Structure 1
Amino acid sequence: MSSQRRSSRPSSAASRTSMSAQSDVETKLECRAAFLGRYDDIRDEIDSKDDLMTLLQQTGRNPSSRVISKYWTRNTESLTFDDFVDICRREPVTSEDELMRAFRKIDVNGDGYISLDELFKVMTTKGEKMSRSEVKAMIDEVDENKDGRLDYKEGNKFFYTEFSHMVISTAEDYKKMSIRMMEKKEKRKLKKKDGEVTPRRERDDTSLGSQLSVRSSASDKLTSPRQRSSLTHPEMNAQNRKSSRQSVAAEVFHNAGRRPSKHSITSEAANVSLPRSESRQSLLSHDMDDEDLSKGRRESRPRSAGRAGRGQEPNNIRDWTGVSSKGAFFLDDESGMVTHSYSLVLSEDTEVWITIQPLRIGESGESLDGTVIDTALFVLNADDNSLVAFTENRDSKGKYSLRCSLSMGTYTLIPFTTGCRLKPRRDTSTKDAKLITKDKEGKIALTRAFRKALEEIFEMADLDGNGLLSRDEFNWYNLRTSGEEIADDEWQVVEDNIDLEKGEITRTGFLRLNEMEADDNEGDTEDLWITLNGMGFNKSLILDEACPFLLRVYAEACDDPELTVTGLDANKEKINEAVCELAISKGEPSKVRGMKDLTMYTYSNDHRAMIVVDNKSKTRVKIELDCSKRRGLVSHTGSLVAAVTASPQTAVVGHHILPLDDRGDFSVVCEESILK
């Protein structure tokens, strides 16, 4: 890389003379730890201004946009690790005095206090976006006299000393954690170099019919309004975590890039998460313009991604440990949509790469116009169901992906589809397909079409993709088709009547069980149709009310990740809460005209939009959300003009919007109006 290409490469000779040998070593170590926490190799290059900002923040610095512009000019294309070290030598870590000046900027009326409204306005319009509850939790942590505001006057020793110490000590904890993570990676590399290969637990690629490509498109981009953010569970070990409220404060005022708590906000590049702006601004450089909040009409367009590589499959993915499972979305008359859900257990802090993609079987995986059914994933904290991460990236084949860092612990994984494309069938007048035949002696046999449908059902039920159905897998199938689990005596019938392989049901055995059922019912196909309808097949034996998917989890620094199916249900409440949390944290806010405590949030990227209404008032509000100003869109409500009711002190989902054509440009304009 030539100096002409990196015209802003800093010279550090002057700054080096003022530092001791020991401090210079420490600086390099901290820089290396932060660099390897974001890139795979020390020889990689920083290829965006956003990445430079984040790396500096992760080493305890809080540079303003003006400072960043000194090192990343219009002609800068990339910076090396040595460049980064030079910058860190020149730029000091954030001091307590700088924190004080930052707070003075927030105090709009200059009364010496920071109210919840003042802090909330900043935290929801600039930089690291936070929910109102998180801002309140931060104030409560340091509000000694419990008056709901922060006193930063010089005489207040508690706030000035305690809070600043809390922020800076949290940053130090993060630096130590980064070094531990770096050392762990290097030890693993040495083991592999010496021939100790990490076991790979992932099964071979599985498919249902014509499985979609499992490779990420090289053109994957992060294009959400809060592009380069990632909502992750923290990387810190439990013994090094501060309280969640301390962590919130540290994230806001230090922007360290990790928030060491269950509810943490992380700036892991590439995928979802709670707050972080597209161009991550330092709190010290905030202006107080709140013009955006006053707009009653909001247009949301995708923005350019920072470092797209963080949204792509890691180059060394073959060295990571992988686990996988299949599952399916099912349309349900009572619950609307049900899906398999999962538990992910990690025994070590690790970076993960998670993908979920639709699998084609018959007509599934595509809507009638050929558009791929959307299959995304929410990662929740298993303890309190708070949102940890969401798959924002999507390739041209419909595979959604997420790359982030997770700490050791247990997570709940909930697949999600909007319902924009997987919809209830409209035409039920189709003539029933023939399921069985009888010969002259009255012997019952399954038709070829029915056998094919059963083979597809077998593929759907075979969650681990080993070509067999375990008792657990057969149990999930039975729950879906009959609502009951397999009792011991029922499993005994299975064992007595068909040959098992390794204690599991073969494809031939599964067909035999259905032949037995048809024979027991003397040719009555009512129960057979109940099974077919439960698995999403219509009267023509086409899968049109279900969508199978494949979920994969890769862990870089954890050799034994555990992925287990834990449920087959609607998860409606958890999903709605996660959607609201995501939209409020990352979406563009717009105050509803004439309503002081009513805000509309539009979260959008290049392939989806979520619109949420947050009602902070004490009254019930009914609001109309009109997204019909743009053509070529579809909403999960069935109409681009929908009315929603928000109860007091609650947030409600108004629209999930997808483009009719995945290949075209996508933007959303939403106009709101209060209904009487």
Structure 2
Amino acid sequence: MSRRLSRPSSAASHRSSGSSAHDSEFKVECKAAYLSVYDDLKDVISSEYDLSAVLQQSGRNPTRKILAKYWTDETDYLTFDDFVNICRREHATTTDDLMKAFRKIDINGDGYISLDELFRMLTTRGEKMTRDEVQCMIDEVDENRDGKLDYGERILYYSEFCNMLMSTTDECKKMSMKMMEKKERKKKRPSNTPRRGDDENIHGSRTSLRSNASVKPPTMKTDSQLSVRSSRVSRADGQGPSHSLRSVGRTGSKSSLISIDDMPRPSPRVKKDKVRTPVGSRSAKVSEPSNLRDWTHTSSKGCFFIDADEGGQIISHQYTLDLADDTNVFITMQPNRIGDAGFTDDGPVDTAIYVLREGSSSNKIVTFTEQRDSKGRYCVRCDLSAGRYKLVPFTTGCRLYERSAGRETKEVKLIKQDKEDKIVLSKTFKKALEDIFDMADLDGNGLLSREDFNWYNIRTSGEEVADDEWDVVEGNIELERGEITKTGFIHLNQMEAEDNDGDTDDLWVTLTSMGFNKSLVLNQACPFKLDVYTEDCRDASLEVMGLEAQAVMLEDAVCETVTAKGEVSKVKGMKDLSVYTYIGDARATVVVENQSYSKIRIQLDCSRSKNVVSNQRDLNYTLTVPSNTTVVGHHLIPRDEKAEWIVRCQESILR
């Protein structure tokens, strides 16, 4: 049930609008802001995070206190009318707000902003920068080279600075209007009308982690002090961040530089328990675009594996996505049922995709799938600019983990001898080979190409398929259009069994590498399906790049998203130690950030949580955090997805 907002009186409405014409303009701006995030005014705001995003699109910068006023524990969703009423009550950001924010950097009140003061703010709050990046920012505007920014003598510059930020907000509103007009034209356009070239491209900016909207005005953060975000301002050419103070507000800049919030973050110790409704019964779901059948679709299968040779860590296929044009993108991922793989009595293995923008020196995280739709798919919808992206699959390991040897059951027979003493494969083994074939068939065409067979060979033997080996395949087994059929694949394993005179050791290497136990149950792997839909890009290319350990690719990305979106609390007596807790649609993550110069041991006790399972196997887990690092402590998901789940985490330092 929506917590409805009372409508303002006619007098209050008159005061807020000033005139009927002004009120009409106000409603149009609200509509444009809403449609920059949602497809339809009938769509509902389903989370506090989404409420913040759509308010930002309207030029407002809600503090945590303001959000809490309109999104309480009893709120399930808010409608467009609710949103309009909120906009009436909360004024848009002003130049005075921004000037007040910038002056907060001058911590000691001496009238100067030093490198140390700016560095402290930019490296401890919000989206962190390096000291060199901060120095570059100061150097650009520090004309007398004294290493300080004097806002007392340079008040004109900072007035101009705030004006530039306000112009960025105006540009954001204009962009929202264009997006609204585009969506309305598409609704009116007949189905046989050409889709490309009928309106200008307005998807030029990169998506922020903090919103599904592609363009964002200055944002109020939930910190008690100022947070400056220039390290993450996207360049207009989409090639990387710009660390220039002077560049903010220029044409093409669509991110904010400053964000403030005078309200401190509440500590989890004094907040109510985090209660989540059953995943399958959320009041509002991520919905796929209504015209999705008109979008370009590309897909691939893949698999998570438990790699016993690497200490039981999870590895998976990795992908690159090449976009020739700026486009709206809808990405879904879900377990692909093959036998019993990927599903337990409590529910499916959780899956996610992290989208990283490929750069010259590093990969910048753009977004990730954090909600599930009515079909159970993990999905995300966002705008992406043209270029190359890495798509990195992720699972918490809460339901997919290495089993102990004591849980293995009786070993089944792989081969037997017929009446003529010929070696034949057992029925159970053939069924397992059929499952392996389906796992290796990444494009889902019912055949194994050389590329499919190559990654299968790498997984099972550690070597690529040489030309002479492929010649043997082509000369001895059944092919169709130059690719291996399922019958041919089973025959290939029959040949291997015959060559080894009945010795099954090599056959078991294949089976265990692909995730089967001795009972031929696929319990150490989770096949999945990845679908990418692009609205305005006909030349989208999704390519499999091989198998990699997810920890190598995702540790920093997971920590970045949790520190950006989660609630933070300081550990008592440890000023340089913070614990972040992020709770999404079907996953909670606890991250520890150690900014001190020494390693610490911290105990994260989640044993008082209800209906949860952790990737650590023990809800009361102790970890060591090296100095100046951020690490994941717990991933938590509901044990029973049909019931409510509660997250409680108590931290304590071990001396």
The TM-score normalised by the length of structure 2 is 0.78
1:141 to 137, 140, 152: 137
More divergent stretch after superposition (188-197 vs 418-427): 188-197
Q: How far did residue 67 of structure 1 move? A: 9.9
647-656 vs 663-672, greater mean Cα deviation: 663-672
The verdict on how the C-alpha distance between 1:239 and 1:85 changes in structure 2, with shifts beyond 3 A counting, is farther
Q: Distance in 2 between matches of 1:85 and 1:593?
A: 40
User: Is 1:344–1:563's contact at 8 Å kept on the other side of the alignment?
Assistant: yes
Matched, 1:373 2:349: yes
User: Does the alignment pair 1:301 with 2:274?
Assistant: yes
Tell me the equivalent position of 1:277.
none
Task: Specify which of 333, 342, 345 is matched with residue 356 of structure 1.
Answer: 333
Match of 2:127 in 1: 131
CA deviations on 1:305-363 (whole Å, 9 max, x unpaired) are 9x976722223322322221111111111331110111112222222221111122222
C-alpha distance in 2 between matches for 1:409 and 1:242:
9
C-alpha change, 1:259 and 1:544, in structure 2 (3 Å) is farther
Return the match for 1:325 from 295, 300, 313.
Answer: 300
Deviations 1:529-577 (A, max 9, x none): 1111111111111101111111112222222322111121103122111
- SS class of match (2:645): coil
From 391, 397, 400, give the equivalent of 2:369: 391
What amino acid sits opposite 1:362 in the alignment?
Answer: G
Structure 2 unaligned segments of length 5 or more: list them: 197-208, 217-232
Query: In structure 2, what residue type is equivalent to 1:355?
Result: T
Q: Deviation string for 1:235-276 (max 9, x for gaps)? A: 99964669735699999x99xxx9857xx99xxxxxxxxxxx
> In the alignment, which residue of structure 1 is the partner of 2:288?
313
Which deviates the most, 370-379 or 39-48? 39-48
Cα distance in 2, alignment partners of residues 298 and 123 from structure 1: 28
Select between 604-613 and 114-123 the one with higher mean Cα deviation.
114-123
State whether residues 47 and 79 of structure 1, in contact with CA within 8 Å, keep that contact through their aligned partners in structure 2.
Answer: no
1:420-435 alignment, distance < 5 Å: 420-426=398-404, 427=406, 430-435=409-414
The sequence identity of aligned pairs, in percent, is: 48
- Give 2:38's aligned residue: 39
Task: Mark the CA change 1:80 to 1:346 in structure 2 (over 3 Å): closer, same or farther.
Answer: farther
User: Does the 8 Å CA contact 2:454/2:464 hold for their aligned counterparts?
Assistant: yes
Name the amino acid aligned to 2:539: D
Q: Distance in 2 between the 1:593 and 1:249 partners?
A: 40
Q: What residue in structure 2 maps to residue 485 of structure 1?
A: 464
SS state at 1:353 partner: strand
- Is 2:334–2:530's contact at 8 Å kept on the other side of the alignment? yes
Q: 1:53 to 1:449 in 2, by over 3 A?
A: closer
For 1:416, the equivalent position in structure 2 comes to 394
One-letter identity of the residue aligned with 2:514? M
Contact 1:380 1:389 in 2 (8 A): yes
Q: 1:175 to 1:232 in 2, by over 3 A?
A: closer
Cα distance in 1 between the residues matched to 2:435 and 2:305: 15
Mapping for residues 159-238 of structure 1, pairs under 5 Å: 159-161=158-160, 163-175=161-173, 177-178=175-176, 181=179, 193-196=191-194, 229-230=210-211
Paired residue type of 1:390: F
Residue 123 (structure 1) shift = 9.2
Which of 16, 19, 25 lines up with 1:15 in the alignment? 19
What is the match of residue 222 of structure 2?
Answer: none
CA distance in 2, matches of 1:97, 1:405: 32
Q: Distance in 2 between matches of 1:621 and 1:642?
A: 14
Residue in structure 1 matched with residue 315 of structure 2 by the alignment: 338
Equivalent of 2:580 in 601, 605, 617: 601
Match 1:382 to one of 341, 358, 370: 358
Alpha-carbon distance between aligned partners in 1 of 2:506 and 2:581, rounded to the nearest angstrom: 46
Aligned to 1:58: 57
- Quick one: which of 241, 245, 258 aligns to 1:244? 241
| 2: CA distance, partners of 1:523 / 1:467 | 29
1:311 match: secondary structure? coil
Aligned counterparts of 2:579 and 2:146: Cα–Cα separation in 1? 29
Query: Which sits farther off after the overlay, 573-582 or 142-151?
Result: 142-151
Please give the root-mean-square deviation of Cα atoms over the aligned residues, in Å.
4.7
**After the TM superposition, which residues 621-640 of structure 1 pair with which residues of structure 2 at under 5 Å, given as runs?**
621-640=600-619
Q: Please state whether the residue corresponding to 1:603 is helix, strand or coil.
A: strand
AA aligned to 1:538 is N
Aligned with 2:648: secondary structure?
strand
Instruction: Indicate which of 459, 462, 469 corresponds to 2:438.
Output: 459
Following the alignment from structure 2 to structure 1, what is the Cα–Cα distance between the partners of residues 608 and 67? 38
1:175-216: per-residue Cα shift (whole Å, max 9, x none)?
555466556656766775344478xxxxxxxxxxxxxxxxxx
- Give the 5 Å matches for 1:260-271: 260=254
CA 1:551–1:244 in structure 2 vs 1: closer, same or farther (change >3 Å)?
Answer: same
Cα distance, 1:51–1:486 mapped onto 2, change above 3 Å: closer
Aligned amino acid, residue 332 of structure 1 = D
Q: Which residue of 1 aligns with 2:535?
A: 556
* Partner-residue secondary structure (3-state), 1:334: helix
Alpha carbons 2:318, 2:544 under 8 Å: kept: yes
2:623 alignment counterpart: 644
Contact 1:418 1:656 in 2 (8 A): yes
SS of structure 1 residue aligned to 2:649: strand
**Unpaired runs of at least 5, structure 1:** 199-227, 266-281
Superposed CA offset, 1:60-83 (max 9, x none): 4557899999999999964469x9
Q: CA deviation at 1:659?
A: 2.6
Q: 1:622 deviation in Å?
A: 2.0
Amino acid at match of 2:35: L
User: CA separation of 1:320/1:148 partners in 2, compared to 1, >3 Å: closer, same or farther?
Assistant: farther
C-alpha separation in 2, matches of 1:428 and 1:69: 48
Q: 1:390-413: CA deviations, max 9, x gaps?
A: 211135875322122222222111
Aligned to 1:223: none
